[in-house]
Amino acid sequence: MQSTLAFGYVCQECGEGTVREQVLPQYPTKIRGYPFVVKDARIGVCDRCGAEHFAARETNRWEEQFEAEHAKHYMQPKEIRELQRTLGTTMEQFAFLLGCTRQSLYNWQRRDRRKPQSRMADVLMKLVRESHAKRTVDVLQFLIGEARQFGIAIELGASNGAPHTPPIILRTIRMSPTAGNTKTGEPMRLAADTTEEESIVALVSEEGSSVGTLSYDFSTASLDLELKTTLGFDQFNATIRFKDGEVAEVEAVQVKGQRVRLLAETNRTEEDVCEVVLTPRDK
């Protein structure tokens, strides 16, 4: 059990209230500029003006929690060593390629490393790996996908006067098959109002519109999207985020009819998905 933090002093904001400790199960904040929800955050709150106060020891713990939460998004030592072997370079050559020192590269490859490489170095190594594997990479979309793992949504503007259709960010929600469209004001029944057997996994936009439903086709081992509305484009790239933190990238998905195959030859079902991002693309 953690010891009590050093609160209980007079609030510096109003000069009248007393700062008392509170424990918040979910505390939304930003760490290093990234949105992050701290678990069991302990802060001081003035009992008069409500001003929040923070202890250095506690914010250090938040930093550690942030690093632990996002460590899975970084290339692991084994992956970095494997990338170097795949490229067929020496450590010195690989370091020159990345624009880092040999010592830095050595530290990133250590199995007992205390912290991962910087995000800039991590993204660069992932781009090198992607380029070597696919030869052609949409760098901007790749970087947008990487940023999304950290909770940052980036929308690019149009260039050279060309029309730009922004990505559609869809979250999953369990609802009744007869639920309406929240955007049009029709009633929507959530999972709590229905039974497990009759509920479905719907994809809902940030505005609350139901775009379609997800389902797993056991006969084809595919994750499919049944559209309930017109997308406005007939080809897109899909980024599928799963509840366990894994991400699947699918390119050039064709929209033909109402049923679209998002992911083929997979054992991932609709129950595994937490978010789907559809990025329109030119043919």
CA–CA distances in Å: residue 105 to residues 39, 91, 96, 128: 33, 8, 10, 15
**13-39 mean pLDDT:** 90
Give this prediction's pTM: 0.48
Q: Is the pLDDT of residue 93 over 60?
A: yes
Domain 19-71: give its CATH architecture. Roll (3.10)
Neighbouring-strand partners of residue 263: 223
Per-residue confidence (pLDDT) for residue 1, from 0 to 100: 42
Structure confidence by residue, pLDDT tens digits, 99-126: 999 999 999 999 999 888 999 999 999 9
**264-283 mean pLDDT:** 87
Per-residue confidence (pLDDT) for residue 189, from 0 to 100: 44
Structure confidence by residue, pLDDT tens digits, 65-78: 888 888 888 999 99
Per-residue confidence (pLDDT) for residue 66, from 0 to 100: 87
Structure confidence by residue, pLDDT tens digits, 29-77: 888 887 889 999 999 999 999 999 999 999 999 988 888 888 888 999 9
Per-residue confidence (pLDDT) for residue 142, from 0 to 100: 86
Per-residue confidence (pLDDT) for residue 247, from 0 to 100: 87
Structure confidence by residue, pLDDT tens digits, 135-147: 778 888 888 888 8
| Residue ranges per structural domain of the chain | 19-71, 74-137, 168-280
Least confident window among 7-11, 172-176, 251-255? 172-176
Structure confidence by residue, pLDDT tens digits, 165-219: 678 888 888 776 655 444 444 444 444 444 445 678 888 887 777 888 999 999 9
**9-16 mean pLDDT:** 93
Percent pLDDT > 70 in the chain is 87
